[in-house]
Amino acid sequence: MGAGNEKILPPVTALTEPYWAGCREQELRLQQCDACGQYQFYPRSICSHCGHNELTWRRVSGRGRVASFSVVRRPMSEAYPAPTVIALVDLAEGPRMMSSLADADPDSLAIGQAVAVDFAEWSEDIFMPVFRLVTEEKQP
Ligand SMILES: [Zn+2]
């Protein structure tokens, strides 16, 4: 086809397959180090904190905060509507993830806003994590 209306799909490898399998189940999964307990993203064969090579995939909360964002006002192609917001999200478990914010008004966004993961169906196999703003519970 190549009509410019199809998204560029990420390659799925043996290393990343558990991640994408999670996304298909609407679960955000991260690798947790069996030695130091830290989480990491993106998937790697060793722990980025201590170098240990045994990591376990765990479902995580999907909650985080906007660390930084950028508004894309020109569409890359018909497959990517604009404006869209690309954000760095600090996940509750620690890792920072680049993603996009769905249904966010670029003009009222702020650093530190709470977000939760959602999944956008890009193809039969790829459900791409996106984040949505969530209202925070007020502390009593
Ligand atoms: Zn480690």
Tens digit of pLDDT for each residue in 10-68?
A: 999 999 999 999 999 999 999 999 999 999 999 999 999 999 999 999 999 999 999 99
Q: Radius of gyration (Cα) for the chain, nearest Å?
A: 16
User: How far apart are the CA of 103 and the centre of ligand 1, in A?
Assistant: 36
Domains of the chain with bracketed CATH: 17-133 (2.40.50.840)
Q: From ligand 1's centre to the CA of 21, what distance in Å?
A: 23
Q: What is the pLDDT of residue 95?
A: 98
Residues, beta carbon < 5 Å, ion ligand 1 = 33, 35-36, 47, 49-50, 52
Helix ranges (H only) for 16-137 are 17-24
Residue 50 C-alpha to ligand 1 middle, in angstroms?
Answer: 4
Greatest distance between any 2 Cα atoms in the chain: 55
pLDDT tens figures, 58-104: 999 999 999 999 998 888 788 887 888 999 999 999 999 999 999 88
Upper half-sphere CA count for residue 12 (Cβ side, 13 Å): 15
**pTM of the predicted protein model:** 0.89
